[in-house]
Every structure is written in C-alpha cells, then in structure tokens.
Amino acid sequence: AMLANVKKVDPKVQAFLTVTGEEALEKANEVDKRIAAGEELKPLTGIPMALKDNMCTEGIKTTCASKILHNFIPPYSATVAEKLDREGTVLLGKLNMDEFAMGSSNENSAYYPVRNPWDLARAPGGSSGGATASVAADEALFTLGSDTGGSIRQPASFCGVVGLKPTYGRVSRYGLIAFASSLDQIGPVTKNVEDSAMVLQAIAGHDEKDSTSAAVEVPDYRQSLKQDIKGMRLGIPKEYFASGLEQGVKAAVDAAIKQLESLGAVCEEMSLPHTEYALPAYYLVATAEASSNLARYDGVRYGYRAEEAEDVISMFKKTRSEGFGTEVKRRIMLGTYALSSGYYDAYYLKALRVRTLIRHDFDRAFERYDAIVAPTSPTVAFKIGEKSDDPLSMYLSDLFTIPVNMAGLPAISIPCGFDQGMPVGMQIIGKPFDESTVLKLAYNYE
Ligand code: GLN
C-alpha cells in the first residue's frame, strides 16, 4: 500500500531519490510468512520506512543528493540502517535532501527539489525535507533524518510531523556521510510522539564504530511517556520570541504553552543571553568542518570523476568544480578561509569560544528548568524560490534550532497549530541525554 502511494504522490512531492520496490516487497512478504507461522514479532517488524540519502545502505545507491556521489553504492551500511534491519523494518528507499545536508529548503538537491505536501508551491524545509514530506504524504510510516543545525526539526515543523534530534552521541553516526562531525546527529521523523519514542529506542545506544557515540544507558522511552507533567518547570527563552518571529507562529506557540500550563507545568520567561551569536558561530564551525570533511571527494577512489583532465591536479579541479553544487562550494570556501593560517584565531577559535558560552547559557538554565520551550522556526514554510537567491535570509530560518546543536542537546519539534493554512512547530529542548523528558512533555501535549 505504501509503495502504491509512493507511485501515486511522489511524482508531485519528489521526496524519494531511490525507491527499493522489489526488495521491499520481498521483505514484506517474509514478514507475512512469519506472522502466518505465529512468530512473535518485535514492535517495528514489517513497518515501511525510508532513510535520508546521506545514510549508507549496502548495495543501495547513496548520493547525498550530490552529483559527486551520483554512482556511489556503499559496500557497508550505517549502524542505524543495520539496527533497523535487525528490527525487521522494511526499507522503501532513499530520501531527497539538500546536497550534503546544506540547506533549509531542499532546493539545494542536485536532482530535484522536494515539495511540501500541504502546498506544493512551498518548500518542505531542509535539509531532511524528503524525510519529513514523505511522512506527511503517507509515503512511509517513519523516516530517519539528520540534524546539524536544525535539519530534522525545521522541516518537521514545515510539514506538520514530529522530528526529534537526539543528544549528540546518543545515536551512532557510523555510516552517516559527514557534513559537520561535531554537530551532525541522526534522529526519527514520525507521525506522532509514541512512534518517535519507539524509533529512538531502536536506533539509540553506544557503537564502538563511532568514537563520539556515548556509553550512556538507554532508558525505556515508551515507559516515560505515561507519566504526567505536573509541577515540571519550563523555561521560555525571551530571545526566541523577539523580532523575526511571525505573529501567527507566535500565537500558535503561545497557545501551546498555555496548554502545557493547564496540564500542570510551570512556565516562566527566562533568558539565554548568547542566542544571537549562535548563528554566526555555527556558520564558522559548520563550514570549517565541512571544508575538511569534503576534501575526500577527489574523483580518485569513488564517486564522480571529470573526463578529459590533463593531469592529476586538473582532474581534482574539474571533478570538484563539476561535482559540487553552488551552496556546497560556498561552504567549502567559507570554511577553508576560516581555517587558514592568520585567520584561524580570529574566526574558528573565536567561534569555538562562543560555542562554549552558548552551552553555558543552557547549563545555567537547566539548573532551574526541566526543559525549554520555544518555536521551532520563526516562520511557516515559505514558497519555493522565495529565498534561494539570498543565502543570509535562508540561514535565518535556523535561528532557533542552531543553538541546540552548538550545545549538543536533545530537542523535538511537534505540530502545535497553523498559520496561513500551514503547520507550525513547537520545540522542546532537554538536558543532555534526557530525551525521556522531552518525549514525555511532547506526548502529554499531543
Ligand atoms: N540549514 C542549516 C545549514 O544549512 C542546517 C543544516 C542541517 O542541519 N543539516 O547548515
């Protein structure tokens, strides 16, 4: 049924880059046989799902929506893909995204943009736009996205679905094609909070193949959903309600906060004073790491290689000039500049210091509050093409999501109403490794 729906709606939504039709049906048939044999199945067995195309899948093309990986078939699978496979989920295919996860609208895909199922003239957000649009359009029951500066939460809010960015280190990044390694984190996109808890349960945990994955115990997430939220203290950061926030978005989030209060939570206005520096610091840290991570695409070992080069150097140059899109090149140039000698201290080192200040803001807040509640994005989904000529205004779309990545915290975006007929998202930010509280609050609200 899901594959039939993909066939029907995806020519319009364009959420998929690869559909694994036959393998998916084969696996589904196997599950049918196991059910017929009376076997007891794990909770996610047989569930049709899809993965953002920056997660490696053995034998299945993985492009990162870039021309430079147009023919890349990984010889191994990401840990998350393997874990879900062991749960018995059925992979329907690989999802469209901004090239190398750089973007906020999905217009940076080298293949075709994703469209928002609520209004096909609008962007689904990004960079996990394929992951959120496919869930909103019933093309998969859940998907995995990745979030470096908001790329799960912002598109989840634009598409009216639930998107969770776990704590940095909670989910293995092994086999996730790197954008900015100190910020990237994989997480679930689902229709509701209970599904989010179930998928997180399946993918979380220490992985010896990822040295940054944390050896922290994984609690039973579904269990925590059942508790109420009476007396919980929630901080409402005033910097997230300042200029740039659309009135309709503010109204929807204000109403959601009222509802949390009526459920017994105690909400209080507070301050995260360094918020305004998060975005500029992010665009130094993320581009610096990207410029270094993307140095591996040289046309030698895998991926695209330009033809008619005269020597090795011209082969590198031609391959990278032809293989990378405009936004990726912009990031490589910015990052290379920030890391170059003479500028390193002024830009990169300073950005790292700012990052520490941002984390301290949150540390201090969590001495007083159990969680922080804010809008996910300052606006609802914008029109395709509206911001594509103006990278700065595009970058501002992640104003409220980026501080969370800089501090490595868990945060969820859940639907909380509409503005101009488009979904609005509310963001709940938690203490490190306290996804349980984030999920509990979201579930009680929902
Ligand atoms: N939109 C942000 C960027 O372009 C975040 C991307 C992401 O989270 N992958 O860098």
Write out residues with Cβ below 6 Å of ligand 1: 101-104, 127, 147-151, 179, 286, 398
| Tens-place pLDDT, residues 16-66 | 999 998 999 999 999 999 999 999 999 999 999 999 999 999 999 999 999
Average of per-residue pLDDT across 13-18 = 98
Measured in Å, residue 179 CA sits from the centre of ligand 1 at 9
Q: What mean pLDDT comes out for the span 402-406? A: 98
- Give per-residue pLDDT as tens, 298-357: 999 999 999 989 999 999 999 999 999 999 999 999 999 999 988 989 999 999 999 999
pLDDT for the residue numbered 393: 83
Catalytic-labelled residue, pool 151, 291, 388, 397: 151
Please compute the mean of the pLDDT values over residues 119-140 and round it to a whole number.
98
**Nearest to residue 237, comparing CAs of 373, 369, 363?**
373
Helices 278-293/326-339 angle, 10° precision: 100
| CA-nearest residue, atom 10 of ligand 1 | 102
Q: Which atom of ligand 1 is nearest to the CA of 146?
A: 9
Determine the pLDDT at residue 389. 86
Which pLDDT value is given to residue 352? 97
pLDDT of amino acid 395: 87
* pLDDT surpasses 90 at 244: no
Q: Which atom of ligand 1 is nearest to the CA of 128?
A: 9
pLDDT at 376 over 90: yes
Distance 261 CA to ligand 1 centre (A): 32
Please report the atom of ligand 1 found closest to the CA of residue 405: 8
Q: Given the residues 77, 104, 127, 157, select the one marked as catalytic.
A: 127
pLDDT of residue 243 exceeding 80: no
Q: How far is it, in rounded angstroms, from Cα 107 to Cα 419?
A: 23
Q: Is 314 a catalytic residue?
A: no
First to last CA, the chain: 27
Give CA–CA dist 286/354, Å, rounded.
13
Catalytic (active site) residue 127 = yes
Give the number of other Cβ atoms within 10 Å of residue 360's Cβ: 14
> In Å, what is the CA distance from 10 to each residue of 13, 110, 240, 258, 323?
5, 17, 35, 38, 26
User: Which of 3.30.1330.50, 3.30.360.10, 3.40.50.150, 3.90.1300.10 is the CATH number of 2-277+349-445?
Assistant: 3.90.1300.10
pLDDT above 90: residue 102: yes
Mutation pick for ligand 1 pocket among 55, 105, 132, 148 (CB with most ligand atoms within 8 Å): 148
> DSSP alpha helices (H): ranges in 206-296?
221-225, 247-262, 278-293
Alpha carbon separation from 74 to 54, 96, 322 (Å, rounded): 11, 17, 22
Q: Is the pLDDT of residue 222 over 80?
A: yes
- Closest atom, ligand 1, to C-alpha of 397: 1
Delimit the domains of the chain by residue range: 2-277+349-445
Distance 427 CA to ligand 1 centre (A): 17
Distances, alpha carbon 193 to alpha carbons 23, 199, 415, in Å: 29, 10, 10
Phi then psi dihedrals of residue 205, to 5 deg: 125, 160
The candidate with the shortest Cα–Cα distance to 344, out of 301, 284, 406, is 284
The per-residue pLDDT for range 223-234, each reduced to its tens digit, is 999 999 999 999
Q: Is 18 helix (H, G, I), strand (E, B) or coil?
A: strand
pLDDT at 128: 98
CA atoms within 13 A on the CB side of 57: 25
Quote the ligand 1 centre to 315 CA distance (angstroms).
29
- Per-residue pLDDT, averaged over 110-131, amounts to 98
Average pLDDT, the chain: 97
Report ipTM (2 d.p.).
Answer: 0.97
Name the strand (E) or helix (H) holding 93: strand 90-95
Question: What would the mean pLDDT of 172-183 be, rounded to a whole number?
Answer: 98
Atom index in ligand 1 nearest the CA of residue 101 equals: 9
How much is the average pLDDT of 381-401?
90
User: Which amino acid appears at position 421 of this protein?
Assistant: G
Give how far Cα 105 sits from Cα of 155, 287, 392, 408, Å: 8, 18, 13, 23
Query: By three-state DSSP, how is residue 427 classified?
Result: strand
52 is catalytic: yes
Distance 100 CA to ligand 1 centre (A): 9
What's the pLDDT score for residue 104? Answer: 96
> Helix crossing, 79-87 with 193-203: angle to 10°?
110
Name the band, by pLDDT with cuts 50, 70 and 90, for residue 427.
Answer: very high
> How far apart are alpha carbons 132 and 159 in whole angstroms?
6
Greatest pairwise CA separation for the chain in angstroms: 70
Task: With a cut of 90, say whether residue 391 has pLDDT above it.
Answer: no
Least reliable range by pLDDT among 222-231, 237-246, 284-293, 388-397: 388-397
Give the pLDDT score at 390.
Answer: 87
Q: Is the pLDDT of residue 114 over 80?
A: yes
Higher-scoring residue by pLDDT: 242, 65: 65
Predicted confidence (pLDDT) at residue 183 exceeds the cutoff of 90: yes
- Could you give the angle at which helices 435-445 and 247-262 cross, rounded to 10 degrees? 100
pLDDT at 109 over 90: yes
Beta strands in 313-399, from DSSP E residues, in sequence order: 371-375
> What's the 132 CA to ligand 1 centre distance in angstroms?
15
Helix (H), strand (E), coil (C) string for 166-197: CCCCCECCCCECCCCCCCCCEEEEECCHHHHH
Among 373, 358, 364, smallest CA distance to 407 is for 358
Q: What is the pLDDT of residue 308?
A: 87
pLDDT at residue number 341 = 86
In which band, very low, low, confident or very high, does the pLDDT at 135 lie, cut at 50, 70 and 90? Answer: very high
75-79, 261-265, 277-281, 299-303: segment of lowest average pLDDT: 299-303
User: What's the whole-number mean pLDDT along residues 149-177?
Assistant: 98
